[in-house]
A and B are shown apart, each in its own frame.
Chain A
């Protein structure tokens, strides 16, 4: 059995990891439910065989989508209803959004519809040949090429056509009602998004910020002066961040060194370069060590609570906390604020990630998950090392329980808990 404190901490860590995983799974499953529901209308058949086509009219168009300009009367009526709904939406929205933006954006939109309609024509043809199932279901939804003149009616048309062909009668009515209320929303967000977020990022860089910035710095200085504490330099969070960076540095330097050592220089130039690189790496490592040692003495002469990696480090902090808060809270605190993602980029529309096949997307997502998993494993490994190695090294007696512990610790730390080594007593043959 492991000691109580150690057990609790380790179990808490592992349970946290499990909870995080479970949370992510839950979110994924929610997205899956939504996606499956959406796709059900496009692929209602459970069997891979295509359902019999109810209306032969639209189907004949599919071989020659360029001649898709022969919609049935039903479709024309539907489009008319949609246009009316959209015009109504535009009138309603006049009261909400700024006039200037709307005019600008609506001309933008009609322009882009025209271009998207023409560019959509080419991919559709290509997509027909690409689809593995080769059924007509898959191309049906994409077939509804929007008429260029209709303001975003294309959105509705596409979706309307899909389920339309699958369930003709009732489907039509449902789909007619649905888009009428919807048009407000897409237009509203596209316009407003462009307006306000853009203003936000421009305000950040305007000139009037200087007076504000100086008053802020003044305020911060005053806070520091009136605090009554001697200035303690870097905060705990910052120190932790720096240590993290230095650890990352160590890893990258080591990788580079191994890369360099694996190379076999063929001529004097490469040999020289290799030598210089290694010397440069050595210098950097020296600097990192120096920096690490600089950060370290802030604490080495004070008592620090244990070695839990998530606890803050400042000595004054520890004392205050112990005086005022009692034993250190076991909860995780927001340590270094993440250096990424907090800057100006999130204020504008998210950047695009272009992929061209499902396989690519799957590879990307799988890699992302793998990176997260490795991050977690490294964290767990460090925690386990910090707790278990001292245990194993401290105890002297050679009894079986001690050996069992060693074996278990070896498995946890070196094999990720998956494999075990064997310990045999080396009896001399008699």
Chain B
């Protein structure tokens, strides 16, 4: 094990590594035993399945259910490979590993370390499985409707369908949404009542009332014990994570040696141009480019008109007028610059000032000053603007389609296209 001289905190590096690995394996969900890590360094095949499963668990999107976790090792291995490559995993050797999940433990160990090194991996995992005691509403979470990670195995015998079938499916979807809305309203009414009834019962005065989970806890001792157990296991994982963060330096040094133990990769030849067969149809790029180009054209026209009008006005006024207004113009320019910079933030930073993640619902008296926390009124305002944005986007897409179809219709003479009523 290559040992680099470091300050005193690493005295005893010989013992620190096993503990670091042990902490990591306790902190990870479905963490393999420390022995697996050691075996993986030497690329032992018996360590591979556990690592495939771990990577699958770690990479699946948050809402993956139990069904996908119990898929065959082969399916999981294939999925993990594709997922890692999508994320930009640099090593080619991963793609060459056999699908049956029987080999490649060292490569998988490297992949896991790569994921750990790039961006925080443990924190989101811990937050995901956190025991939640409050009634929560994911007010600003994106992707709350992310589709399941592995779709249920489809019958391969699906034949071609008619457009009517698609329309039927869309109608079914609309119906399900209506049901969902109705159920949600009912749930909110019930939550409101429970919060109101349990007012004054919570020891934390910021909250003031119990949530459903807490009320259930007090009603049902068995449930309370179960909750306690879950909390204890969560605490164990948190403790392990803290220990991992204290000790992880020695792990990275060890990983350097693991990487060194790999045989070097032959440099790849330049990729042969194209593999033939699959040509590009309308790429998903094109809508984005269309939209921006269309917008650019519109803006050009608008700017041109306004510029001309402005120039005419300035000409009509005379030079002393312009000189007098210089300062005001400067101020306006700055103000507009700031406004546009703020606008840019809206998509660049991807969030804005809204808190992310689920928020705990707390019922308060209207008009009471209340403590820290987001007011529902503000959240409603933010959501309304987001809704308006999305509606505009949808209408724009539909308008694009209409334009395209109208163009096609124009090319077919001898037919009248009557749009549906109400348009």
Contact = CB atoms under 8 A, between A and B. Distances in A.
Given A32-B186, A414-B401, 12 more contacts: A18-B169, A203-B245, A212-B252, A219-B117, A245-B350, A257-B298, A304-B278, A340-B350, A351-B374, A385-B287, A393-B404, A423-B415
A324 B84 CA distance: 14
Nearest to A21: B176
The majority secondary structure among interface residues of chain A is helix
Given A179-B218, A276-B332, A350-B132, A257 B302 contact: yes
B189 to A, nearest CB: 6
Given A31-B187, A304-B283, A282 B198 contact: no
A64 interface: no
Contacts of A318: 275
Interface residues of B, number: 243
Interface in A312-332: 312, 314-325, 329-332
Interface string A126-170: 110000000000100110111000001011111100100000000
Nearest to A389: B404
Interface residues of A, number: 243
Interface in B335-383: 335-337, 339-340, 343-344, 346-351, 355-368, 370-377, 379-380, 383
B172 to A, nearest CB: 6
A418 B380 CA distance: 29
A104 to B, nearest CB: 14
B328 interface: yes
Q: Which of B166, B306, B365, B419 has the most CB of A within 10 A?
A: B166
A16 B151 contact: yes
Nearest to B241: A200
Given A208-B9, A247-B288, A120 B162 contact: no
17 contacts: A14-B170, A138-B196, A141-B198, A216-B252, A219-B113, A236-B87, A245-B350, A255-B392, A306-B278, A332-B150, A340-B141, A352-B361, A353-B359, A353-B361, A358-B189, A360-B380, A373-B177
B302 A278 contact: yes
Contacts of A421: 417-420
Given A1-B161, A369-B184, A275 B307 contact: yes
B212 A229 contact: no
Interface string A236-274: 111000010111111111111100010000001101111
Given A249-B347, A304-B280, A112 B205 contact: yes
Interface stretch (B35-43, B45-53, B90-98): B90-98
Contacts of A35: 187, 190-191, 194, 212
The majority secondary structure among interface residues of chain B is helix
B147 A16 contact: yes
Interface in B115-169: 116-120, 123-124, 126-127, 130-134, 136-152, 154, 158-167, 169
Interface string B64-101: 01000000000000110111011110111001100000
B1 interface: no
Contacts of B365: 123, 126, 356
B89 to A, nearest CB: 8
A182 B417 CA distance: 69
Interface in A198-237: 199-200, 203-204, 208, 211-212, 215-220, 222-224, 226-232, 234-237
Interface stretch (A5-13, A45-53, A69-77): A5-13
B189 A320 contact: no
Given A38-B212, A116-B203, A228 B91 contact: yes
B279 interface: yes
B221 A222 contact: no
A41 B219 CA distance: 10
A200 to B, nearest CB: 6
Given A16-B147, A24-B180, A350 B136 contact: yes
A345 interface: yes
B297 to A, nearest CB: 10
B14 interface: no
B296 interface: yes
Contacts of A88: none
